[in-house]
Amino acid sequence: MYVTGILGNLAAGQVADLLGRKFVIMSSSVSHIIGALVVASSYTRTQIMVGRLFTGLSLGLSSMCAPIYLSEISVTAVRGHITLLYYFFYGVGFAVGTLVGGGFATVTKGWRYMAAIGSFLSLVQFIFFFFAPESPRWLISKGRVREGRGALLSLRSEDYPSSAELDAIKADVNDNAGKGGLVQVFKSPPVRRALLVGSLLHMSQALTAFVTIIVYSATIVTMTGIADRTNAMWIVTGMVGAALVGLAVGLGLVERVGRRALVLTSLMGVTTSFLFVAIVFTLIHVHSPAVELPPVDLECDAQTCAECTFNGKCGYCFSGGQGNPEDAACVLADSDDYYNGLDP
């Protein structure tokens, strides 16, 4: 998924410049529809992986092109807010998805319904974008000035000075003609510094494994002793809700305190939070319950639950209460009956 997402990111800019912003966004919708339907109908791990490849490609295409499209169709006065709202509703979608996931947690094969819902939402997006105007700036950059003017007028109210904006877009397109490409970016020191700062900010988010923790948060919560996965899902919903509150606060403060102050504050908060997570994981490992029974398979030879579950092929099985495990064993994850494998 992440590999195709990277490929989608890399390809989106060039394809968007060549074929248009709408084409890329609608293509991402089609890719997600295919991927979600493949996942929903999967009966093997390979099928799920193929579906995830398509959804990853969709994410890569849309995450690159959607902010560009929004910025190019927005008026200058609210352009920054529109872009921020995009990321805010990204968080809203995450929160709603978690809520729906919690609702389907007790439904047999509920994950299939979750995937199917994703395909339906992508279909809705595809239909809406079919009727949406293309980016006026892109149309003008391709010499299609009349179409660009029509697209701009469809996006503005009658009393808005659209002619002045159209002239400004044409002038900007002419000034920047032939100046695109990575070579030109690296030749300009101010642009190069901005690119470096932006890249480091994105890398800092990725390297903190924030997305990984969110994706596997239900599993992480169960590691704390909450066995019921439904309850774990609702706890995760609260976590995502907290992230949504943070997005809303940032949206309200960005124009008051500035971008730099918010970035530095959030980075300090992330550092503190992940330090706490690291300490908790260490304590879980140190106080992990012991494996009492000998292994049937040497591949699952472990001394503690943490050591056992670190191996993706093995699982920790026990009888008795969760707080007081008895006859604990480390077994292959696909083993139906460990105890039948032991010598009498």
Residue 203 has pLDDT above 90, yes or no: no
When pLDDT is cut at 50, 70 and 90, the band that residue 264 belongs to is confident
Q: What is the average per-residue pLDDT within 176-180? A: 64
Residue 285 has pLDDT above 60, yes or no: yes
Which tokens sit at 120? 């339906």
Residue 2 has pLDDT above 50, yes or no: yes
Q: What is the average per-residue pLDDT within 28-36? A: 93
Which tokens sit at 78? 């609210």
| Inter-residue contact 185 to 195 (CB < 8 Å) | yes
When pLDDT is cut at 50, 70 and 90, the band that residue 179 belongs to is low
Residue 335 has pLDDT above 60, yes or no: no
Q: What is the average per-residue pLDDT within 12-19? A: 86
Residue 12 has pLDDT above 90, yes or no: no
Q: Which residue has the higher pLDDT, 73 or 295?
A: 73
| Inter-residue contact 7 to 60 (CB < 8 Å) | yes
Q: Which residue has the higher pLDDT, 50 or 306?
A: 50
Which tokens sit at 17? 């410049």
Nearest to 9 by CA among 142, 206, 192, 204: 206
- Taking the C-alpha atoms of residue 94 and residue 78, their distance in angstroms, rounded to an integer, is 24
In percent, the amount of the chain with pLDDT more than 70 equals 86
Cβ neighbour number for residue 51 with a 10 Å cutoff: 23
* DSSP per-residue codes, 219-256: HHHHHTT---HHHHHHHHHHHHHHHHHHHHHHHHHHHH
Q: What is the average per-residue pLDDT within 192-219? A: 75
Q: What does the pLDDT look like over 320-334, one tens digit per residue? A: 665 566 778 888 766
Residue 338 has pLDDT above 70, yes or no: no
When pLDDT is cut at 50, 70 and 90, the band that residue 341 belongs to is very low
Nearest to 290 by CA among 324, 341, 320: 324
Residue 310 has pLDDT above 80, yes or no: no
Burial of 32 (0-12, 13-18, 19+ CB in 10 A): buried
| Inter-residue contact 37 to 116 (CB < 8 Å) | yes
| Amino acid 344: pLDDT | 36
Is this model's pTM higher than 0.85 or not? Answer: no
* DSSP per-residue codes, 148-197: HHHHHHHHS-TTS-HHHHHHHHHHHHHHTTT--SHHHHHH-HHHHHHHHH
| Amino acid 334: pLDDT | 60
- Taking the C-alpha atoms of residue 205 and residue 326, their distance in angstroms, rounded to an integer, is 41
Instruction: Tell me, rounded to whole angstroms, the distance of Cα 140 from its chain centroid.
Output: 32
- Taking the C-alpha atoms of residue 111 and residue 99, their distance in angstroms, rounded to an integer, is 13
Q: What is the average per-residue pLDDT within 147-166? A: 87
When pLDDT is cut at 50, 70 and 90, the band that residue 181 belongs to is low
Residue 216 has pLDDT above 80, yes or no: no
| Amino acid 138: pLDDT | 92
Q: How long, in residues, is the chain?
A: 344
Q: What is the average per-residue pLDDT within 201-215? A: 72
Average pLDDT of the chain is 80
Residue 139 has pLDDT above 90, yes or no: yes
In percent, the amount of the chain with pLDDT more than 90 equals 14
When pLDDT is cut at 50, 70 and 90, the band that residue 339 belongs to is very low
| Inter-residue contact 249 to 88 (CB < 8 Å) | no
Q: How far is CA 110 from CA 38, 50, 201, 218, in A?
A: 15, 20, 36, 15
